[in-house]
A and B are shown apart, each in its own frame.
Chain A
């Protein structure tokens, strides 16, 4: 039978083709990105631990219990403190490094490489190396401290220094990563604008404050969401270096989720913690929603 396909039929075929093309990726993403979000929300409202046949609905009891739990607040405080110690310092340092290497020169490629390379190393490799640097007495850091007369500090075993010590390591890793985004932001600033400013008599700091920084605003906004997200999704170094010691002083939220889920086998509570994590991620990703309609150029 020879028939001429109508516009409607063609359109139908096109829609089917499109669905067929996205289906493989979409199915995976529905199973491992969308479904787990809803499942976490559901399980967070249930009592569910190892040995139980099925989750038991208990409404907001997991949250209520967490909010009365001192360890939970300690973990939240650690997570906030760790973010405070790492996000802004690594952004400032990342921008400073980007400005330092935003020029042409023989060795510039090598210098950029030396700042960025920690980003292609696994966090656990970095943590193993820094664990030795921080090791009591024989470690590099304590040897320096002994040499300058401060004496061994054993920073990873002290509740007051463990987070700052981890933060230094993390800023060392993250600054070079954030640098490349700032570098590309700086390179997209029109040279004419900077030249006009210098003709008008603007000098270093004023140019930076009134021209470079405002023009970098979209990059900075974007970098801040990456910096926060990366810092929240961090647990590897805790597993290697301290396992939360001393007395949960270095337990961060994701490590706590891992511990509640896989050590204590308490799926209800770990799901409630996951929901809290999801809310945090949503909040720090807000700038991305708002920056969507503004034109942002990175490269």
Chain B
């Protein structure tokens, strides 16, 4: 056996070992959520399997409502971003006009300033608009997405011009050209952005926490935080783990099934040229 082979074997072993270390918190989370509560925290569950924790928290917290709210939020946000970004991305890809520079400055600003740091002024704007404690209020700051516009612009530019021209000659108007010719050509970009947008809004916490006041609008993350910080949950890790599992399960499952698509999406979001 050559040195190279020994090395490669050792690296494989190391990478698997690290993988197990990385998975440990998740393994513990799932194990604890699905077993009877114990006093001491143990990595390998020592108590029998049960779904009582899940049933208990599902009934103790209005999770069904929070699920519905989160799904509405994620879907509607993406749908609106889809439309606004497609139109803007198309304009920036194919038109030369005064004001283009302004748009690029705004895009650049949004890319370097995460929404979370603007909570104070945005909260004021939202209250002036009367959108506090509404789903629209949670979505509003995200409905024009610099990232999506940029991603789509880059993608549209790679579509051969002949496609658009051919459509025009066949009598297609602008809207038809955008939605029936260019949009289908950029499926990969939409997929990437969908993954990023859905993950972001499913997991987002600070902004929904500030905007929502009532259970009718709260998201899963806000609901989990309220539960985790309540007296009821004190030391009750079986219940907190069960609640956590309920909110992370859908996205985590999607990720494990489509891991390649997820990771590529996050990388393509980093392409800023």
Contact = CB atoms under 8 A, between A and B. Distances in A.
Contacts of B112: 229, 281-282, 285, 288
B57 interface: no
A287 to B, nearest CB: 11
Taking each of A25, A114, A235, which has the highest tally of chain B beta carbons within 10 Å of its own beta carbon?
A: A25
Nearest to A179: B263
A296 B119 contact: no
Given A101-B15, A114-B23, A25 B118 contact: no
A26 B105 CA distance: 11
B163 to A, nearest CB: 18
Contact of B97 (A18, A24, A113, A296): A18
Contacts of B144: 24-29, 32-33
Contacts of A270: 120
Interface string A39-65: 110010000000000000000000000
Contact of B203 (A109, A120, A285): A120
A120 B91 contact: no
Contact of B117 (A124, A180, A281, A296): A281
B241 A31 contact: no
Contacts of B99: 18-19, 22
For chain A, which range describes its interface: under 10, 10 to 19, 20 to 34, or 35 or more residues? 35 or more
Contact of B221 (A21, A28, A39, A122): A122
A246 interface: no
Contacts of B39: 138
A111 B256 CA distance: 11
Contacts of A172: 22, 25
B141 A32 contact: yes
A28 B84 contact: yes
Contacts of B206: 235-236, 239, 254, 258
B202 interface: yes
Contacts of B124: 39, 267
A247 interface: no
A296 B263 CA distance: 19
Contact of B271 (A97, A257, A271, A298): A298
Contacts of A115: 18-19, 22
Nearest to A121: B248
B16 interface: yes
Interface in B64-106: 83-85, 87-88, 90-92, 95, 97-100, 103, 106
B29 interface: yes
B205 A139 contact: no
Given A15-B98, A123-B203, A240-B229, A22 B248 contact: no
B121 A271 contact: yes
B28 interface: yes
Contacts of A24: 83-84, 87-88, 144
B99 to A, nearest CB: 6
A121 B22 CA distance: 13
B61 to A, nearest CB: 13
Nearest to A32: B141
A124 B145 contact: no
Contacts of A27: 144
A119 interface: yes
A181 B270 CA distance: 8
Interface in A125-175: 125-126, 128-133, 135, 138-140, 143, 172
Taking each of B41, B43, B266, B271, which has the highest tally of chain A beta carbons within 10 Å of its own beta carbon?
A: B41
A254 B207 CA distance: 12
A32 B125 contact: yes
A125 B16 contact: no
B201 to A, nearest CB: 10
A32 B115 contact: yes
B109 A36 contact: no
Interface of B: 11-12, 14-16, 18-20, 22-23, 25-26, 28-29, 39-43, 83-85, 87-88, 90-92, 95, 97-100, 103, 106-107, 109-110, 112-125, 140-141, 143-146, 149, 174, 199, 202-206, 209-210, 221, 224-225, 228-229, 235, 237, 240-241, 244, 247-248, 251-252, 255-256, 259-260, 262-264, 266-268, 270-273
Interface of A: 14-15, 17-19, 21-22, 24-37, 39-40, 43, 97, 100-101, 105, 107, 109-126, 128-133, 135, 138-140, 143, 172, 176-177, 180-181, 183-184, 222, 226, 229, 232-233, 235-236, 239-240, 254, 257-258, 261-262, 267, 270-271, 274, 277-278, 281-282, 285, 288, 292, 295-296, 298-299
Shortest Cβ-Cβ A-B pairs, 7 listed: A28-B144, A36-B121, A122-B203, A21-B91, A25-B144, A18-B95, A114-B19
10 contacts: A15-B97, A17-B174, A29-B106, A33-B110, A37-B118, A107-B12, A115-B19, A125-B224, A140-B42, A277-B117
